[in-house]
Amino acid sequence: MNDTAGRIPDDAHAPVETLYRGRWLTLRQRGRWEYVERNNPGGAVIILAVTPEDRVLFVEQYRVPILQRTIEMPAGLVGDLAEQEGEGALIAAVRELEEETGYRCGRIEFIHEGPSSSGMSTEMIAFARARDLVKVGPGGGDESEDIIVHEVPRSAAGAWLFARAAEGYSIDPKLFAGLWFLEHGGPDGEPSTEA
């Protein structure tokens, strides 16, 4: 047995120093650890959405930090604008789903929350399941985004993602967690058979 299991490192008690504060992110240091914080305290939300035709919704966009086109699930920041201050993850999920994909959901449910990259960031990401989808607009994101929406048969989603990776797209690994949640349900463990 590892005798250091459960030990809290000395760095956890070190004072926090702000190295840089930008509009959206702050770079901090605690002991030897450098990490980033989002300046909005709400974190982010990933939306698991399947159309009535049993097609999973994915979004494609260019991501400047990695200089690459990515395939992701619809997602967004929670409470990132002044008029959205105090909104919760589920409200943000409804808003982002319609903005990015053009689909409105009849109901939304919380699935799970965890860190996006616990060694680099304080950001927490929630997964939400959108149900009873209805197409109400074109999607594509807001004026700062150029999002392409993909509707992929659920049964072929994994293979489709690997094919996009072979073409040079960056595939967010959290997509595979999202696909697992679609098949196995949320905290209650019930499979998600509803399209």
Q: Beta-carbon neighbour count of residue 131 at 10 Å?
A: 15
- According to DSSP, residue 50 is labeled B
Catalytic residue selected from 143, 151, 183, 194: 143
Going by DSSP bridges, is the β-strand pair 68-72/170-171 parallel, antiparallel, or unpaired? parallel
Which residues, in sequence order, are bridge partners of residue 149? 59
Active site residue 143: yes
Length of the chain, in residues: 195
Cβ neighbors of 33 (< 8 A, separation 6 or more) are 11
Q: Are 38 and 164 in contact (CB under 8 A)?
A: no
Burial class of residue 117 (count of CB atoms within 10 Å of its CB; 0-12, 13-18, 19+) = exposed
CB-facing half-sphere around the CA of 12: CA atoms within 13 A: 5
Among candidates 36, 47, 15, which has minimal Cα distance to 125?
Answer: 47
The residue among 141, 184, 179, 186 whose CA lies nearest residue 161 is 179
Catalytic (active-site) positions? 143
